[in-house]
Structure 1
């Protein structure tokens, strides 16, 4: 199994960032509960997890929480310290997910405050 993972990672490095994101999303989907729904590459909604709000990957971290930190000027490095299970890729996913969904995520932020 380790050889398969190593080979897959080596091949993934030669692909575009978008293709890498698709691979990560596919792998995360395999790890997620059956009732999870992929709503964006790397973002899932699962009933009874984070109130059904979109979360990053196989975590229980809602996208809006990461976006709130970014909007508040918290650095990416600090966010990675706060959420140790996240990666820079997850932060990038949160930023791309936010684009075009500003009102939805900002409403979620206001509900939490």
Structure 2
């Protein structure tokens, strides 16, 4: 498993195992190593470092006008990089397009 797949360079891909976002021609490859998925934690929703804090919680707090410092104060076990990666993941998900694969 490489960072980005060259088999389908036109697809926006996310590899949960390597936690990379890949876009056409390797133009965008971000490491999202703090975003985790575990069916036993928050029902498999994307979480921050395996904790019971979801990406949706972070994005929701930011959307309601909370500052990064306020969030860190409310959740002292989070770091600024956690907030950045949560926002990056949410932005990617908002732009994601599912294209059905047809096998011949």
TM-score using structure 2 length: 0.58
- How many angstroms apart in 1 are the aligned matches of 2:54 and 2:18? 14
> 1: CA distance between counterparts of 2:18 and 2:46?
9
The Cα RMSD (Å) is 2.3
The TM-score, its normalising length taken from structure 1, stands at 0.53
Q: Match for 1:41 among 27, 33, 37?
A: 33
Per-residue Cα deviation, 1:4-38 (whole angstroms, up to 9, x for no partner): xxxxxxxxxxxxxxxxxxxxxxxxxxxxxxxx966
**What stretches of structure 1 move > 2 A for 4+ residues in a row?**
36-41
> Structure 1 residue 103: deviation in Å?
8.1
Distance 1:46 1:38, change over 3 A: farther
After TM superposition, give the deviation of residue 65 of structure 1 in Å.
0.1
Cross-structure match for 2:54? 62
The number of residue pairs the alignment matches comes to 69
What corresponds to 1:53 in structure 2?
Answer: 45
